[in-house]
Amino acid sequence: MDAYTIVWSDMMMLRRRFAKYLLTTLLSPLLYLWLLDGGLAGA
């Protein structure tokens, strides 16, 4: 249960910046998808 205490502070920080976090982590996979869809998949 002590693990929950360790996780808590990080979860609080993540909750505060959730939208920014999601946007930054989704950017590169979506770019990969977009480029591969428009490039190689269309070949």
Shortest distance in whole angstroms from residue 24 CB to other proteins:
9
Q: What share of the chain is helix, strand, coil (3-state, %, to 5)?
A: 85, 0, 15
Can you tell me the distance from the alpha carbon of 28 to that of 23, in angstroms, rounded to the nearest whole number? 10
Question: CB count, 10 Å around CB of 21?
Answer: 13
| Cβ 16 to other proteins shortest distance, Å | 14
- Residue 16 contacts other proteins per CB under 8 A: no
- Summarize as ranges the residues that interact with other proteins (CB under 8 A): 1-7, 10-11, 14, 21-22, 25-26, 28-30, 32-33, 36-37, 40-43
